[in-house]
Chains A and B, each alone.
Chain A
Amino acid sequence: MKLTELQSILGDEIKRVRENSADDHVIKEASTVALLAKQVINNADIIIRFDKLKATQPELTARIEELI
């Protein structure tokens, strides 16, 4: 999944919640999406940071990969 796709899903959910604020099912789904999206960006942050580290400090990352 691309970041733009995640953004578009979140945009849709915001819209749905605004339009169907009385619908419990919509609210529950939106809560789940928000929770998952939180986890996705936190994981993505780690991956992006590691990729940047790989690019700038190859020796260090090689050592980290050995340890992993």
Chain B
Amino acid sequence: MARGHKYTTEQDEFIRNNYTNVSECVRKFNKQFGTTLSYQAIKTYANRRLGITTGFRPWTKEMDDAIATLLWHHPYKEATKIFNEQFGTSFTRKQIEDHCVRAGISRKQAKKLKKVDSIIKEKVDKKTYGEIRKIINKKLGMNYTSDTTICTRANNLGLSRPHRVWDNSTDRRFINGKEVTYSEYVRFIGHRWHRLEEELQPVALQIVKLQNELSNVAGEGAK
């Protein structure tokens, strides 16, 4: 346990002479004095008691600006590569990501997604996922082709649309101009028969009606 360690003058001097990089200094210190002091212990001691810092400041304002600009045009992986080439550094993608999170630098995509989420939050009770998707594509220039994406984002935000309930008084469904019941409609669409060639659709509708009659009979039998 490092707590309560009493630093000798020799150790103070050692830290002063080797404090250019905290990790390196800790490693050398522990090796030299046979201790097991932690990174944080030596760092705190050096800063508070000895009043020294490593002067190692990997992230400058210029670097922050550069990475922010790069992230507007590239994903993290590419941005890291370009950044390292530009500044002669060897940051990993994870280090860059972590720094960006700490410094509040977000990718263009991340910013857009925040806007997407805010639109979803605002519209989820009033519009269908399809309508929300169209609004997002129009407003933010996104290219969502599937309503499922919007639904998934909404679910991840802890939101869900109320399921559409078949309201017999107002909600009427038609297939090729003929009014159908809820179960007939669901069967028809479920079989993907709305994609059949037009001349076959009346026959498909009759099959659906027959299937419906049969399942009604089966339902009554079960009762």
Which A residues lie at the B interface, using CB under 8 A? 3, 6-7, 10-11, 13-14, 17-18, 21, 27, 30-31, 33-34, 37-38, 41, 44-45, 48-49, 52
- What distance in Å separates the Cβ of A13 from its nearest Cβ neighbour in chain B? 6
From B201, which residue of chain A is reached at the shortest CB distance? A41
From B191, which residue of chain A is reached at the shortest CB distance? A38
The 5 closest A-B pairs by CB, nearest first: A10-B206, A17-B213, A48-B197, A21-B217, A34-B210
Query: With A10-B210, A14-B206 as given contacts, are A3 and B200 in contact (CB-CB < 8 Å)?
Result: yes
* Residues 188-220 of chain B, each 1 if its beta carbon lies under 8 Å from chain A, else 0: 000101001101101110110111011001001
- Do the beta carbons of B217 and A37 come within 8 Å of each other? no
Query: With A10-B206, A34-B207 as given contacts, are A41 and B214 in contact (CB-CB < 8 Å)?
Result: no
- Do the beta carbons of B217 and A27 come within 8 Å of each other? yes
Residues of A within 8 A of B203 (CB): 3, 6-7, 10, 37, 41
- What distance in Å separates the Cβ of B210 from its nearest Cβ neighbour in chain A? 5
B contact residues, total (Cβ < 8 Å): 18
- Do the beta carbons of B200 and A33 come within 8 Å of each other? no
Q: List 10 interface pairs A-B (beta carbons < 8 Å), by A numbering.
A: A3-B202, A3-B203, A7-B202, A10-B207, A10-B209, A14-B209, A17-B213, A34-B214, A44-B200, A49-B197
Residues of A within 8 A of B211 (CB): 34
Complex CA gap A33/B210 in Å reads: 9
Residues of B within 8 A of A6 (CB): 203
Query: With A10-B206, A34-B207, A37-B207 as given contacts, are A45 and B197 in contact (CB-CB < 8 Å)?
Result: yes
Complex CA gap A18/B200 in Å reads: 24
- Do the beta carbons of B196 and A45 come within 8 Å of each other? yes
Tell me which of A11, A18, A44 contacts B206 (CB under 8 A).
A11
From A21, which residue of chain B is reached at the shortest CB distance? B217
Q: Supply 20 further A-B pairs (C-beta < 8 A) apart from A10-B206, A41-B207.
A: A3-B200, A3-B202, A3-B203, A7-B202, A10-B203, A13-B210, A17-B217, A21-B217, A27-B217, A30-B210, A31-B214, A33-B210, A34-B211, A37-B207, A37-B210, A38-B191, A38-B207, A41-B193, A41-B196, A44-B200
